[in-house]
Chains A and B, each alone.
Chain A
Amino acid sequence: MAASATSQVYIDVIEDVMVKVRDEFVNNGGPGEEVLKELQAMWESKMMQAGAVLGPIERSTAAKPTPGVTPVHDLNVPYTEEYETPTAEMLFPPTPLQTPIQTPLPGTGDNSTYNIPTGPSDYPSSGNDTGGNADVKGGRPATYMQPPSPWMNPRPSLDVNVAYVEGRDEADRGTSNQPLTQDFFTMSSGKRKRNDLTSQYNAGGYIPQQDGAGDAALGVFEIEVNGGDISINSHHTISKGKMQADVERLTTRIPQLDGPAPYDDEIGTPNMYNYEVFSDDYNISNTPAPPEVPVSTPVLLAQNEVGNDEDDDDDEPPLNEEDDDELDDMEQGDDQNTHHLVLAQFDKVTRTKSRWKCTLKDGIMHINNKDILFNKATGEFEF
């Protein structure tokens, strides 16, 4: 059955339900026709969002202007005149409503019977809605986004070097995980001020070359920037030449670089220091100073405590990942993630050895994001 045909059946079902529950809404102290219209409008708009109904909806009872259809959310459907003047009520119905849904309210007990099927859909629905949960979610991406950023830093070659050396150091010392973060802190502590200064030159892309000694490299960079485009190439060679020298200097200067770290620690309060560590993470790959790591072991220990917040952040993603894995293995997860589902009635199911045959009828399939209805279906499965 084609999508348009499915859409038409859905529209008819919505219409049929509306007609048949109308009595309950209008009479016997029901909430009234307006609420019924609101229900229909929300239902239809959700269907359009899901792509299951191809709007605009044409009705046999076309006298109804379908006032409640919320065109804002509906990106798939071209505007038509009748939808163009939505009231604020229509525009924002989900906003105040969305958030409370997930939190158990006194009425939840009553709802639980029909709440059950909703379960899996809560998350997708709130995800689609830019309204209600935006505030809640707004805070989270920031914390999630921070950790990946050092890896995404566009200086792969340097990244690799840093990671490699660090990894080896860890292995040598027989410690796990923690030194990785400690290394970051150390490097950042030594270079913090210089990074702050040079961060604005990042566009140039040659920051790594100024690692060894702050003053000399800074000079190079200032020249580059002042000189403009023309002179950049020449300074390339200069800076590259310097880099090797700088690296050599770097190794000899390790004790000096190490010095400032504890010094800073003593001066700065842990909290202040911590914040700077966060911002410095972005520049880690700019300042490959792994050799200093082994030297500065005592500093690392001290900073580990300071860096506990960072460690907490590191702990979170693995937890989430495990959750996802569990979901993948579970059938419920399949429902949520793959969304391929066939709902039907069976007439007969038979098996001969490992060959299964079944006849189904009156089914709704949701496959590859398409809704397909069928009157009859035959299945042949190999177990």
Chain B
Amino acid sequence: MATFELYRRSTIGMCLTETLDEMVQNGTLSPELAIQVLVQFDKSMTEALETQVKSKVSIKGHLHTYRFCDNVWTFILQDALFKNEDSQENVGRVKIVACDSKLLTQ
């Protein structure tokens, strides 16, 4: 199963990476094993998003920057409005990083 490392930049991914960093520096964990944990996280996170999450979101805003590089879209929005079923959020500046979903199914 192919996975993205994309989600490592999320809160949960950062927390895991920090923890692994500390444990590797501490000598409790080998770097190889730490990478294995991260790869497993990639899989588990992707799977959880596919199977457990059902919500939909709409995003509107002024597109400040767009970039498509190495099959990754990057958008920087200004004055963006995020809406989902039960709430909406205003953000002055937000970055969207999106990988090509087709790469996973190949």
Residues of A within 8 A of B (CB): 1-2, 9-10, 12-14, 16-17, 20-21, 24-25, 30-31, 35, 38-39, 42-43, 46-47, 50, 52, 93-94, 96-98, 100-101, 105, 107, 110-111, 113-115, 117-118, 121-122, 125, 331, 334-335, 338, 340-347, 349, 356, 358, 360-368, 370-383
Contacts and interface: CB of A to CB of B under 8 A. Distances in A.
Contacts of B91: 340, 367-368
B15 A364 contact: no
Interface in B36-53: 36-38, 40-41, 43-50, 52-53
Contact of B98 (A16, A331, A340, A358): A358
A13 B53 CA distance: 12
B80 to A, nearest CB: 8
Contacts of B8: 117
Interface of B: 4-26, 28-38, 40-41, 43-50, 52-63, 66, 68, 73, 75-77, 82, 84, 86, 89, 91-101, 104
Nearest to B25: A100
B98 A346 contact: yes
A101 B23 CA distance: 10
B57 A376 contact: yes
A13 B45 contact: yes
Contact of A17 (B44, B75, B96): B44
Contacts of B76: 331, 334
A363 B66 CA distance: 18
Given A343-B6, A373-B53, 8 more contacts: A1-B84, A111-B21, A125-B18, A338-B92, A341-B94, A341-B95, A346-B98, A368-B89
Contact of A376 (B40, B46, B56, B104): B56
Nearest to A12: B48
Nearest to A40: B19
B25 A361 contact: no
Smallest CB-CB A-B distances: 10 pairs = A381-B63, A46-B15, A345-B101, A346-B98, A340-B94, A362-B49, A110-B31, A97-B22, A379-B59, A16-B44
Contacts of A113: 35
Instruction: Identify which of B10, B32, B76, B93 gathers the most chain A CB atoms within 10 Å of its CB.
Output: B10
Nearest to B94: A340
Given A35-B28, A39-B23, A377-B58, A47 B15 contact: yes
Given A16-B48, A331-B76, A368-B91, A39 B35 contact: no
Given A343-B97, A358-B73, A364 B84 contact: no
A101 B22 contact: yes
Instruction: Identify which of B19, B35, B61 gathers the most chain A CB atoms within 10 Å of its CB.
Output: B19
B56 A374 contact: yes
Nearest to B68: A349
Contacts of A107: 24-25, 31
Nearest to A117: B8
Nearest to B98: A346
B9 A341 contact: yes
Contacts of A342: 59, 94-98
A35 B95 contact: no
21 contacts: A9-B48, A13-B48, A20-B44, A47-B12, A50-B15, A52-B11, A52-B15, A100-B26, A110-B31, A111-B21, A115-B21, A331-B95, A341-B10, A345-B100, A349-B73, A356-B63, A362-B101, A367-B91, A372-B89, A376-B56, A381-B75
A340 B76 CA distance: 10
Contacts of A14: 12
B9 A343 contact: yes
A344 B55 contact: no
B2 to A, nearest CB: 11
A214 to B, nearest CB: 55
Nearest to B19: A42
Given A10-B12, A47-B15, A97-B22, A346 B59 contact: no
Given A2-B86, A382-B63, A117 B13 contact: yes
A340 B19 contact: no
Given A30-B33, A46-B15, A373-B55, A344 B96 contact: yes
Given A107-B25, A344-B98, A13 B57 contact: no
